[in-house]
Amino acid sequence: MKTPNTTTLLFVLFAVGNASAGTVTLFNNFGPGNTYLPDSGYDIGPSATLAVAQSFTPSVNSTLTSLILGVSQASPGSDGIVISLQTDSGANSPSGTILESFSASGLPIFGIASSLTTENSVLHPFLSAGTTYWLEVSPNSANTTAFWNFPFDWDFGTIWAPSTGTCLSCVRSAMSVTADTVPEPESIGMFTLGAMALFGLGIVKRHRSIL
């Protein structure tokens, strides 16, 4: 019986190890080319709703890689915003438990520009499939007057604000959540078996060389 060579087993291990790995978009309600409405959105600031959060539910186990938001400021010089990824409270609202947060400033001007605000994850928190998470945008200081803009095609879902509570069917703001998928246990098991086979092949070859 012919024994598989090391190159073949290495190829199999590589294929199995990468079968479930890759980048996936967990949520995206932007228009074509990540466009959004530059002159329409929720107010973010002390005189308005203070903060706005909206939920998303990953379809696969993954780790966060980046966030893209359509956000803007009322005028140049306005203080920035804080973007926080939070767990769910169990009552259709953010829990206050922050998995990762980002500060953004120098936002495009409301009603004029529509450039994207991109935040790359440093902590890469684990996101469990079927679990609800919240992305909240809040003012960075009392001088913040900002907006979380709406997408071109209005998207309805669950949002939360401290002044109004939870709304189950309200217009959601423009955002995209990207993550790296985490291999399923079955794939990890196959990888482990392949590694054991490769290790065993090395022992057999070494034994033959000794003989």
- The span from the CA of 60 to the CA of 27, in Å, is 12
Task: Return the pLDDT at 163.
Answer: 85
Over the Cα atoms of the chain, what is R_g? Answer: 23
Q: Token pair of 69, please?
A: 């938001």
CA distances in angstroms from 142 to 111, 137, 169, 204, listed in the order given = 22, 14, 29, 70
- The span from the CA of 153 to the CA of 169, in Å, is 15
pLDDT tens for the chain, 211 residues long, are 544 454 444 333 344 444 446 999 999 999 998 999 999 999 998 765 589 999 999 999 999 999 999 999 998 878 899 999 999 999 999 999 999 999 999 999 999 877 999 999 999 999 999 999 999 999 998 888 999 999 999 999 999 999 889 999 999 999 999 999 998 664 444 444 443 444 454 544 555 555 5
Task: Return the pLDDT at 47.
Answer: 61
Task: Return the pLDDT at 198.
Answer: 43
Residue 74's nearest CA partner among 136, 139, 142, 147 is 147
- Is there a contact between 38 and 114 (Cβ–Cβ < 8 Å)? yes
Burial class (CB in 10 A: 0-12, 13-18, 19+), 187: middle
Amino acid at 42: Y
Amino acid at 64: L
Number of CB atoms found within 10 A of residue 127's CB: 22
Task: Return the pLDDT at 45.
Answer: 86
Q: pTM for this structure?
A: 0.79
